[in-house]
Amino acid sequence: MSAPRIVMLPGDGIGPEIIGAAKRLLEAIGEFEFEERLMGGCSIDAHGTALTDEVLEACRAADAVLLGAVGGPKWDSTDPGAPRPEQGLLGLRKGMGLYANLRPVRPSPALVSASPLREERIAGTDLLVVRELTGGIYFGDSGRDGDSAHDTCEYSAAEIERIARVGFEAAQRRAEGSGRKPRVTSVDKANVLETSRLWREVVGRVAPDYPDVELNHLLVDNAAMQLVSRPADFDVIVTENLFGDILSDESAMLTGSLGMLPSASLGADGEPGLFEPVHGSAPDIAGQGIANPLATFLSAAMMLRHGLGRADDAARIDSAVDAVLDRGLRTPDLAGEGETAVGTDEVTEAVLAELNA
């Protein structure tokens, strides 16, 4: 069997540093063929657009795509005509059909004190945000007309149904062998939005196909509140694109650092997925060698698990990351008062050492 082909998209800011570290990690795990491409601000600088057709084609043809981060102040502009790094990411999601975004939130036991919430609040938190990724207000009609602007939110029943099924199936998989009842919380704004009323209706219609799963509906404002007041009660949260964007950042903070959250974006069966840390390009610390590579490592683990069918290798990475945190190694974003912070290279070396231990 030939080595899996992985397109690496380092992107901007700290992206090249964390993707460089992930490459070392993957080389220690097995044989891969890497192809590095420009996407985001770096592609705007080189080609005038955040995502070229060639790069989209290369991603479609790969076995998996690993992305660093895109964006930075250099490309910030309110000019609607100016190219934006984020367009590259959105173009990839749409162009690769990546409708399901999985963002697991499991505070590492060694990091509970890094959370802004009290330890007893987050104890036992282990949740998964399943975010719809190719519909809603992100992709609806938008525009400016003189002094006004509009963004349209649209969802079809088919789009809602397929993401609901991803949520239910993920809940079943997570509960397997645990003896606990799988739970899905569907988040919407059905008291105000028509798309949300359709969402609630379709999720409810699909639910009987998963009789073992307990389904609850929450309004998004209430969900935002419950996430900080009782995070450990959540299992799988399934929600639309914009709500998922917001709630996943909120959930990420439960772990004490956005720097710890990985993600997988998946499309149809057999099509390549895209894997990336949830944190951004952190331009303020780019090039200093202090970026936290752990969310990228955990994203590489998700790539092995969900994209390449190599769950054992994925588990090895997950435990190596846990072990390194356990030993007290912290990049500055995680280091508490009195803790010494180390750089990207040291953390990477420590993870590699754990892999070989």
Give me the active site residues, please.
Answer: 138, 189, 221, 245, 249
Q: From Mg ion, ligand IPM, none, which one binds at residue 188 (CB under 5 to 8 Å depending on kind)?
A: none
Q: Which of residues 54 and 76 has its CB atom nearest to Mg ion in the complex?
A: 76
**By CB under 5 A, residue 318 contacts Mg ion:** no
Q: From ligand IPM, Mg ion, none, which one binds at residue 339 (CB under 5 to 8 Å depending on kind)?
A: none
Q: Which of residues 101 and 125 has its CB atom nearest to ligand IPM in the complex?
A: 101
Q: From Mg ion, ligand IPM, none, which one binds at residue 89 (CB under 5 to 8 Å depending on kind)?
A: ligand IPM
What does the block give as tokens for 110?
A: 């060694």
**Least Å distance between CB 285 and ligand IPM?**
18
Figure out which of the listed residues 245, 313, 318, 333 binds Mg ion, where binding follows CB under 5 A: 245
Of 250, 232, 5, residue with least CA distance to 125: 232
Q: Which of residues 200 and 279 has its CB atom nearest to ligand IPM in the complex?
A: 279
d(CA 133, CA 162): 12
**Interface segment toward Mg ion; rule CB under 5 A; list 9-17, 147-155, 238-246, 254-262:** 238-246
**By CB under 5 A, residue 159 contacts Mg ion:** no
Q: Which of residues 100 and 329 has its CB atom nearest to Mg ion in the complex?
A: 100
Q: Which of residues 3 and 149 has its CB atom nearest to ligand IPM in the complex?
A: 149
What angle, rounded to 10 degrees, do the helices at 85-95 and 53-61 form? 40
Interface residues with ligand IPM (CB under 6 A) are: 86, 89, 245
**Least Å distance between CB 236 and ligand IPM?**
18
**Least Å distance between CB 192 and Mg ion?**
22
**Least Å distance between CB 265 and Mg ion?**
12
> What secondary structure letter does DSSP report for 5?
E
Sign of the C-alpha dihedral, residues 248, 250, 251, 252? positive
Alpha carbons within 13 A on the beta-carbon side of 272 = 23
Nearest residue by C-beta to Mg ion?
245
Q: Which of residues 245 and 354 has its CB atom nearest to Mg ion in the complex?
A: 245
Of 68, 72, 21, residue with least CA distance to 324: 21
**Least Å distance between CB 67 and ligand IPM?**
10
**Interface segment toward Mg ion; rule CB under 5 A; list 1-9, 67-75, 240-248, 286-294:** 240-248
**Least Å distance between CB 83 and Mg ion?**
20
107: left (phi over 0), alpha (psi -120 to 50) or beta: beta
d(CA 99, CA 166): 10
E strands within the chain? 5-11, 33-36, 64-69, 100-105, 127-132, 142-145, 148-151, 183-188, 214-219, 236-239, 262-266, 273-277
Instruction: Using CB atoms within 10 Å of the CB of residue 321, give its burial: 0 to 12 exposed, 13 to 18 middle, 19+ buried.
Output: buried
Q: Interface with Mg ion by CB under 5 A: which residues? A: 245
